[in-house]
A and B are shown apart, each in its own frame.
Chain A
């Protein structure tokens, strides 16, 4: 496979994952603004923060009003991480690697892009927002479904999956990076309404509010949530899960190519650390520092993979 093709697949699926993430952030923000209107402005500010877009946003907006934030996150062409930009970049990469994709995956990608660009042609009115977010999520899922259903499990698939999980790990970590203070031992009485709403919002941002309840019932604690998002290998957006998948796919490449690279060691070191970790130890060391370090390592792994597989030169 061409190095360029590996890169195209990696970035196609990174951006597809990011698109879903941004849409989910908007969904969680919207939910919070409906249930706790007076906290909404702070919440939108933190959503922008979580999307790593504070500077870009403030360059043209003064306040964090819902309509402006939503528009910026969904439609702004100058915001490289808006839903529209993500899907356009994802599709451009798909065109680049068209020969590596099945017809089903390409058509789903193209249709996703056509549908969502059509949908986002104009500002989305508040009452249309839930429907629009639903369409975006469904279109992205169709691409993923086509990938699972029709692609050979070979190096092409591996690079697509590695892109997905490097991005997903980054996304989950960013939520924790911005919201870590909500999970710290609080001065407010535990179980206060504030905590509950914030905690639920974190879980919603990773589509895990239901699955968390399945496992933990109504017994919520900051430590349990942090554990769920960082260390629980069953939760498909946890850091441990993502690194399990990254290692699995890098492992397949190692077998197929008969070559082990520095990226393999890096990825397995990170996984070992996640697996041997106890959440209380994370809190003792400092949740924020822990997450900051993870984000850096995850970025470094992305660069390492690009170098090891001659994606760039």
Chain B
């Protein structure tokens, strides 16, 4: 056994002094009464519940609505730290878009042998229907979430790219609203950059990517699978904040070569659809024929330039976990620069040498399903029982190509408020990026997810994680 790693603490230096970005907060906190803070914490929960900021949980008997626990201690990022992250994120997002364009057109990166052909050809996330299709404005990923983890003062890594339908932005916004309601005094003591522009930025960004067939002000809609989807709150929240219609598949149909929504005054064409429905369910005529969530014929309309779909169908090929390990090559190939944000070291279990190493070191590694998400179906070696490891080993040996493995990272911690006062917990960060034909906008902040259990490294809300307000300080 190696000695327990020393985790980087976002608030405290190893010598016990407070790190710079947390100074003003720490001074304020010292003067606060614990009973008042606990009361505020309970108030926040009641507020979230009353507002209906809930998510539906899968895999339970009844469709229940749950709250994602909210911790009232903000996660604070300095201007300099953020500036570095921004540059790295922008570089990565440009590369992802260029990769998607290439992979659905000339496939130069495959010809150059930088990414193996079989990784694309045999991949469910690759849509042959998109070959040769150029989305309006050339944008594939209008909305991206980049999951970052930190292990030291200057050590940030990209854990995952979310290029399909990244969720969580409503929590970024509501967490901030809640903090400003509860602790207005904190926002006069700290100069925190505003995140409330996001819905307007999103609407502008989507409008800028409208198709040529749009005449006049672009009509935008948000497509949701419906009220039983786990992220329904977010879908309705974003539609509401942008002032656009929230539609389901059965509200839409093809009319005169456009997608139109059924209104109380007849059918009205839609120009840009922010869809929160997976590729497979988008068009029953092209993909899953059983799907009731999509619109029959939408792919034809899309290919003829009648509508913008955000994100474009087929973007999943860029955030697939098997592709992830090639991201450094991808960034370099399209930008000609070294990646500013490194990947986490990754073993592809499809490769015999890597598989051998992973099988020998299961107890120390994190093993993930290539197509999985939400923290389901993964093994966290150091936290798993012997039986869990043995069970997982069998699954891994049966289908090695389904898995990748990563070292157990010494994720940074930040304090949360517990019954006994502040206590450090592991966390990650998902900044949100908007891509339009003329610019890339990164909202200063993001979603900080935090493991609430002591020592736990899994921050997913479906696995008992919580969230924090994320502050980026002005420079």
* Chain A bound to chain B: yes
Query: Chain A residues in contact with chain B, CB under 8 A?
Result: 1-6, 92, 95-96, 98-99, 103, 106-107, 110-111, 114, 155, 253, 257, 259, 309-311, 313
Is B261 in the interface zone, CB < 8 Å from A?
yes
A2 pairs with B232, CB closer than 8 A? no
B50 pairs with A3, CB closer than 8 A? no
Which A residues are CB-close (under 8 A) to B265? Answer: 257, 259
- For the complex formed, measure the closest distance between the CB of A154 and the CB atoms of chain B, giving whole angstroms: 11
Select which of A4, A92, A95, A110 is within 8 A of B262 by beta carbon.
A4
Which A residues are CB-close (under 8 A) to B264? Answer: 1-3, 5-6, 155, 253, 257, 309-311
B52 pairs with A106, CB closer than 8 A? yes
Which of A3, A99, A107 has the largest number of chain B CB atoms within 10 A?
A99
Q: Which residue of chain B has the shortest Cβ distance to A159 in the bound complex?
A: B264
B52 pairs with A110, CB closer than 8 A? yes
- For the complex formed, measure the closest distance between the CB of B268 and the CB atoms of chain A, giving whole angstroms: 9
- For the complex formed, measure the closest distance between the CB of B177 and the CB atoms of chain A, giving whole angstroms: 11
A92 pairs with B236, CB closer than 8 A? no
Which B residues are CB-close (under 8 A) to A111? Answer: 50
Which B residues are CB-close (under 8 A) to A114? Answer: 49-50
Is B10 in the interface zone, CB < 8 Å from A?
no
Which B residues are CB-close (under 8 A) to A259? Answer: 265
Which A residues are CB-close (under 8 A) to B266? Answer: 310
Select which of B227, B232, B236, B262 is within 8 A of A3 by beta carbon.
B262
A2 pairs with B50, CB closer than 8 A? no
Contact string against A for B residues 264-282, beta-carbon threshold 8 Å, 1 for contact and 0 otherwise: 1110000000000000000
- For the complex formed, measure the closest distance between the CB of B122 and the CB atoms of chain A, giving whole angstroms: 40
For chain A, what secondary structure do more than half of its interface residues adopt (helix, strand, loop), or is it mixed? helix
Q: Which residue of chain B has the shortest Cβ distance to A310 in the bound complex?
A: B262
Which A residues are CB-close (under 8 A) to B251? Answer: 2-4
Which A residues are CB-close (under 8 A) to B227? Answer: 92, 95-96
Which of A111, A114, A310 has the largest number of chain B CB atoms within 10 A?
A310
Which A residues are CB-close (under 8 A) to B51? Answer: 103, 106-107, 110
Q: Would you give 11 A-B contacts (Cβ < 8 Å), ordered by A?
A: A2-B247, A2-B262, A2-B263, A3-B264, A92-B227, A95-B236, A98-B240, A99-B239, A99-B246, A106-B52, A257-B265
Which B residues are CB-close (under 8 A) to A5? Answer: 245, 264
Which B residues are CB-close (under 8 A) to A3? Answer: 251, 262-264
Is B369 in the interface zone, CB < 8 Å from A?
no
A311 vs B262: C-alpha distance in the bound complex, in angstroms? Answer: 9
A45 vs B393: C-alpha distance in the bound complex, in angstroms? Answer: 65
Which A residues are CB-close (under 8 A) to B49? Answer: 114
- For the complex formed, measure the closest distance between the CB of A113 and the CB atoms of chain B, giving whole angstroms: 10
A95 vs B226: C-alpha distance in the bound complex, in angstroms? Answer: 10
Which B residues are CB-close (under 8 A) to A107? Answer: 50-52
A310 pairs with B246, CB closer than 8 A? no
- For the complex formed, measure the closest distance between the CB of B255 and the CB atoms of chain A, giving whole angstroms: 13
A155 vs B50: C-alpha distance in the bound complex, in angstroms? Answer: 26
A155 vs B265: C-alpha distance in the bound complex, in angstroms? Answer: 11
Is B428 in the interface zone, CB < 8 Å from A?
no
Which A residues are CB-close (under 8 A) to B245? Answer: 2, 5, 99
Which A residues are CB-close (under 8 A) to B320? Answer: none
- For the complex formed, measure the closest distance between the CB of A218 and the CB atoms of chain B, giving whole angstroms: 46
A5 vs B251: C-alpha distance in the bound complex, in angstroms? Answer: 10
Which of A96, A114, A311, A313 has the largest number of chain B CB atoms within 10 A?
A96
Q: Which residue of chain B has the shortest Cβ distance to A110 in the bound complex?
A: B52
Contact string against A for B residues 95-137, beta-carbon threshold 8 Å, 1 for contact and 0 otherwise: 0000000000000000000000000000000000000000000
B263 pairs with A310, CB closer than 8 A? yes
A99 vs B227: C-alpha distance in the bound complex, in angstroms? Answer: 13
Q: Which residue of chain A has the shortest Cβ distance to B243 in the bound complex?
A: A99
Which A residues are CB-close (under 8 A) to B232? Answer: 95
A236 vs B51: C-alpha distance in the bound complex, in angstroms? Answer: 32
- For the complex formed, measure the closest distance between the CB of A297 and the CB atoms of chain B, giving whole angstroms: 23
